[in-house]
Each structure stands twice: as C-alpha cells, then as structure tokens.
Chain A
Amino acid sequence: MLSAEHVTKTFRAGSAVVVAVRRVSLGLAPGARLGLVGPSGSGKSTLAQAMATLLAPDSGSVTIDGDRVVAWGVRCPRELRHRVQLIWQSPRMAVDPRLRVGDAILEPLAASRMLPSGADERTALLASWAKRVGLTEDLLERFPHEVSEGQLQRACLARALVVCPRYLICDELASMLDVSTQAALLESIAAEQDERELGVLLITHDRILAAHWCEETVEIGDLSGADKVAESKPVFS
C-alpha cells in the first residue's frame, strides 16, 4: 500500500502563502487503478510529488508498503524511490534533451548501477521495453526533439517502468496528446498491471477518462478538511 496521511504542503510567494494541500489522506493499493480528479490549482500535482518521495510535506507522512519516507528527493534511499515512479505531464521537460531516447529509457538503471554489463543484453532489454510501450527501434537512436510528443511520452512510460516500480503515478499523462496515443499509453499500463500487481494513480482533470478507466475515482477536495478548496484558490480572483 502506498499511502499519504494528513499531508500538508504550503508554498510561499513573497508575502502570499498558498496552502497547496491541507491534511490530505490517500491510499493506493497494489494492482489498483485509482483516479484523482480536481480543478487546476487544487494540489493534485503537489500531492503526487509528495507520494513519489520527491517533495517533503510540511506535515503528515507518506508510507510505501509500511516503510515511512523520512528523507525526500535525492536523499531518499534509491530502493524506496524505485518503488514509486511518476510520469509527468510534459515529456519534453521530463527528459534530458541531450540524451538519446534509448539512453533516456535506461537512465534510471544507469544511475542506480543496475544496467546489464553486456552491450547485447542492454540492447535486448531496450528492445523489449520499446516493444512494450509501442516504440519502433529506430526512434531509440533519436534525440527528444526529433520525436513527437506522443512518442516521447511512451519513452517516459518505459523509463518509469524500467525500475519495476510497485506503484505508478501518472500526472496528466496525456492531456497534451491525442486520444489514440492516450489509449495506447493506458493499454501499455494495463498490460503491465496484468503481468504484475502494479498500483496506478491516474491524476487527471478529465473526469470522463477517470470514470471509464479507473476502478475508483476520488475528488481531491473531498480528501481533506472542508476549507481546503477555498484556501488553495489563487491569490486573488
């Protein structure tokens, strides 16, 4: 179980204080498909980053299969970080523009010294991931600016899955992509779920998508105190 309990995160901009999430609790079970919806600015992405061990909350806790996260970002132990992976909305901002697509897919393994030593093994590994997310092998040799947004998001999916996470958080996976690419990405995720117990948190503003793809959908405003939504509104309106 990946769970956030009473997570609060506040951002300061000059004299203004914005409470992005206030005492939000959410649990994601292995193998589940949970949808998280809410208007923009309601703290969905902040919560996602806290649950992915990337952002330290001001208070509250995040536990991954019983292990409580106490260090965040790069300080978080790799083994723990690998259990939860996050896919960002914009693939162009998520990958190093100087890495070829294939190298970007294997980068998480390389960073953790988990890359197979033989060149043939690496090629085979990359080919199998490319196939699973629907990329052709010639695209792996390209740089991110030489492939389309949809192709790059497929690579980002492979990049997230390559460390075999237990939980996958998709933050607006395809809100910039066409519906067919969105369907293809969700099919790849579903195939992964069939193979092993991958818990998926789908964060989206598309309620219709959440209603159709997820087993359960929660509204971020309902997860915390009633004042939450009112407080996280923009500084003035």
Chain B
Amino acid sequence: MTSALLEVDELSVGFRTRRGVVQALSDASVDLEQGKILLVVGESGSGKTVLAHSLLRLLPRNVNMTGSIRLAGEDVLSLEPRELQRMRCRRMALIPQSPTSSLNPVRRLGGQLVEAAQARGLGEEEARRRLRELLGEVGLEFDQVARRYIHQLSGGMQQRIVNAMALVGQPDIVIADEPTSGLDSDLVDTTAEQLRAISARGAALLVITHDLRLAERLGGRLALLYASRIVEHGPTAEFFKKPSHPYGRGLLSALPEREGNSIPGLSPELTALPDHCAYAPRCPRCFEPCTQELPSLYPARDGVLARCFLHAER
C-alpha cells in the first residue's frame, strides 16, 4: 500500500479562551503526496493558518487537539520535543506570512540565514555555499544581502529570501502561509513561479491563501474552508470551472472581474458554531435539511467533494 507523504485525518483544533472554546478547525482530512500542491483557501478566521501551524505543532498551550497528522509515516502529534525539532528542521519548511516579522530586525541577514541553515544540519561552509546557490536562483547575491538588515530590502526581496530559505534543508514538505499578502501583482507572479519551482523539485507544497488568483495559477488540489470546516475539496481547475459548494460559488462571483457581488451576512462565530450547515444563513440555495443537520462531504463530480446537501442524493 502506498501512503501519502502527509496524511491529516479528522483533525479538530479548539482554543480555550475566556469567551469559550474557539473551534478553529473541525474534522479536517487532507493528504498530500511528494511533488504535489495542496491549496487551503478561505477567509480570515476560517482556520487556514491553524491547519498549517498544527502540522508544525506551533500552537499555544490552550489548545485542544484531536485527530491525527502523519508525515512520512510518523505521528506528528505524539513526537517528543527533540524528535519534533528534528522533524521541523529536516523534513518541513515554513514560508511565514510576514517576512519582516519572521527575521530578526537587529541582526544582519548573513548571520541569521547561515544560522538557520546550520539548524538544518549543514556545516558553516556548506551553508554559505547553499545560500549563495539558492539566493542566486531568485536573482539575489548572498554577499550583498548578508550585510543588510531586513528593513533595508524591499518587500519583494524579503519575500524572495524567505522563499529561498525554505529550500535550504531540502525539506519533504514546504508550507507557505499567505505567501503573497501585500505584494503587488508583479511580485505575485514571481512568487507563484517560485512556488511552482519548489514543487517541481519534488517537495510537497501546502499553500495557505485567500488570494483566489494565486490559487488559480498554482493549480494542484484545493481545499476550501468555511467556519472551521472543509466545505469543498477537489482539483483546483474544477473549482474554478464550476464550484460545487454554494460558498465557493459566492466567493468566485465576488471577484471584481466576475460579478463583484459580496456574500450577504457575516460568517458565524467560531465560539458558537451551529450544529447544522454553518453556511445556511447566507446560502441562496438553503433548503430544509440545511438548518437541521450537519452535511458530510458528499461526492459532487469528477473527484470533487462538497459539504452540501445539494449533492447528498448522488
């Protein structure tokens, strides 16, 4: 039996807070193979980043987690701290949401980049050689960058550095958390190409984004999140051709180049998620079962799953 590199099974993540438990992720199941791309798409607060951080176990102490995460056969949730550290360094790489806040502002870049490469098991000389090579590939010169502080570089350069850094340890899986937020369209193009290059090298790529145009360009498979649940899961191309979940349809029609219409209403509070379809109050096609029970993921068409009673009979 061949198993995927990453297998997430029925993962639920909640945070205990003063206002009650914030259910950030409910029963999420995804898997990802070597060299493939998985896009996790949804609005802010839908649980995307929590999914990425769960894979790295970068979550605060007030967390309740159930379900399982397996990376290359190892159970990530039961790893001891030392093994976890080894796995984060050798197998995974995170492209963080904001390059400025993920690099140390008071150290020159050279020292901290070499240090990060060494944490991934490279010797100092090898680290420098590898950094020179990787930054060269994205059009930057290591020796010139090394003397600078992070604020002395433009947003595009900062992004290229963190993208290049993700490949230093030759990870099995690269997780990119909103790699294009705040970048202008030319830089989005460059970033999309770099992400594609990462996956072409054989690394599995998980991209968290709210940017539908980036998603369309990257292809692969797409998981659409709404109010902590995956509501649609299938090939990205199929999603853009014809979304199967009404929320997907609403999102696409909100694009300015399509109708530019917003979805009426607000998404539900994660502290008080309904026990029926969370999208029902905003859904134009809501019918009787939607306000009574929770839909499961039903096969919609061509390998697409949708959490919607419209597809329940098939």
- A positions within 8 Å CB-CB of B: 38-41, 89, 134-136, 146, 148-151, 172, 175-184, 186-187, 205-209, 211-213, 234-237
Partner of B44, one of A89, A178, A209: A178
Q: Cβ of B254 and Cβ of A179 under 8 Å apart?
A: yes
26 pairs from A and B in contact (CB 8 Å cutoff) = A39-B184, A39-B187, A40-B156, A41-B154, A89-B182, A148-B43, A148-B44, A150-B43, A150-B45, A175-B181, A176-B182, A178-B43, A179-B212, A180-B254, A183-B260, A184-B262, A184-B263, A187-B262, A205-B185, A207-B185, A208-B213, A209-B256, A212-B260, A234-B154, A234-B157, A235-B152
Q: Cβ of A175 and Cβ of B262 under 8 Å apart?
A: no
- B positions within 8 Å CB-CB of A: 19, 42-45, 144, 152-157, 181-187, 210, 212-213, 250-251, 254-257, 260-263, 265-267
A-B pairs with CB below 8 Å: how many?
96
Instruction: List 3 tightest A-B contacts by C-beta distance, closest first.
Output: A205-B184, A184-B262, A183-B262
Residues from chain B with a CB closer than 8 A to the CB of A186 are 260, 262
Residues from chain A with a CB closer than 8 A to the CB of B152 are 235
Minimum distance in angstroms from B265 CB to a CB of chain A: 8
Task: Tell me the nearest residue of chain B to A90, going by C-beta.
Answer: B182
Minimum distance in angstroms from B230 CB to a CB of chain A: 16
Q: Cβ of B155 and Cβ of A41 under 8 Å apart?
A: yes
Residues from chain A with a CB closer than 8 A to the CB of B250 are 180
Q: Cβ of A178 and Cβ of B42 under 8 Å apart?
A: yes
State the CA gap A179–B43 with chains docked (Å). 8
* Given pairs A134-B265, A178-B43, A181-B43, 11 additional interface contacts (CB within 8 A): A39-B187, A40-B183, A89-B182, A150-B43, A178-B44, A178-B210, A179-B256, A180-B262, A182-B256, A187-B262, A237-B154
Point out which of B45, B155, B183, B256 has the most chain A C-beta atoms below 10 A from its C-beta.
B256
Residues from chain B with a CB closer than 8 A to the CB of A38 are 184
Minimum distance in angstroms from A13 CB to a CB of chain B: 8
Residues from chain B with a CB closer than 8 A to the CB of A172 are 182
Point out which of B152, B181, B266 has the most chain A C-beta atoms below 10 A from its C-beta.
B266
Whether A175 touches B182, Cβ cut-off 8 Å, given contacts A180-B263, A181-B262, is yes
